[in-house]
Amino acid sequence: MFHNFSITYFQKSIWRISAFLIVNFVTGIYFPVETFARELRIVSLSPSTTEWLAALELGKFVVGVTEQCDTPEDLARLPKVGSFMRTSIEQVLLRKPTDIVAVDGLPASLVRRFESEKIRVHLFKVSRLSDFPAQIVKLGSALGASVKARVWADKFEKAFPPAGSPPAAAATRINKSIFLVVSVNPLFVATPRSWLSELFESAGYRNAFRRLSGAGVDASDFSRISAESALAAGADGWISFYDGAQDLKPQRDKLLGLIRSRSADPQGLVKVLPASIFMRPGPRLLEARSILSGAGR
């Protein structure tokens, strides 16, 4: 009897061990989802990070977004927690988040408050295009989406090669100087220090801000300049941006009005592009790069 019992017990043990290994093999290889990801509750405090969460296939864990988060549609319909600079702490806490994701610049007081509630805060920090791959990987690793993050990081590395790489073919085709206008009244433009300027220059445009006196020492991403000094720079074109929820014509007319109020000559091309694609540090910058490259053909 003891002999039979030992064999039966041994057989059951082997079966349990085999079942355990099979389950772990299947879930770990064919369905590689990190276990803690099932418990995530994420609040996104900026439109671009909401788009990153969707791109990393973490949308099902998002429980709150800002009023400016307009894409993708399923996440845009989630409960609102205010805006980036006017975040409602009460609304955020009501969502019982485990993690908060935002772009760099979130007020330090908010970061401290959320961390005091044992909420993890992840800030997406980019100042140059070369910063994107590392930040994508960092965010993905923190939220259990390392594999998907690596895919996106590779895409950005391919689209925006490091400084010193051979120039893209588009760079030799376009060769136009432009002002990147982020605000018409008052007039603010992107400086060569910004990733926005780098985005356009990577496609072969030249930032006309370089022609301004003292521009080389400007330490800001965006700079306020006078319309007179901008017009004196003699740019080939002016590019501004509009909110995707609005008509682009008012923004274009506003910029043309500023130019014509100082000069009878409209000073070359005036173009208005969707801010949601070109001015957000999100995954759609790859689409922006493709549009800019196509413009040179």
Which of 245, 196, 240 has its CA nearest to residue 67? 245
Structure tokens at 220: 């800001």
Q: Residue 90 half-sphere exposure, CB side, CA atoms within 13 Å? A: 0
Q: Given this model, what pLDDT does residue 86 score?
A: 93
**CA-to-CA distance for 258 and 185, rounded, in angstroms?**
8
Q: What is the pLDDT of residues 75-85, one digit of tens each?
A: 999 999 999 88
Which of 62, 67, 117 has its CA nearest to residue 90? 117
DSSP structure class, residue 61: G
Q: Given this model, what pLDDT does residue 263 score?
A: 64
Q: Given this model, what pLDDT does residue 24 score?
A: 45
Q: Given this model, what pLDDT does residue 295 score?
A: 59
Q: What is the pLDDT of residues 125-158, one digit of tens each?
A: 999 999 999 999 999 999 999 999 999 999 999 9
Report DSSP letters for 129-183, one per residue.
GGGHHHHHHHHHHHTT-HHHHHHHHHHHHHHSPPTTSPPPHHHHH---EEEEEEE
Q: Residue 146 half-sphere exposure, CB side, CA atoms within 13 Å? A: 8
Residue ranges in the chain modelled with pLDDT below 50: 1-7, 9-10, 13, 17, 19-33, 35, 37, 167-172, 296-297
Q: Given this model, what pLDDT does residue 20 score?
A: 47
Q: Given this model, what pLDDT does residue 214 score?
A: 60
Query: pLDDT averaged over the chain?
Result: 83
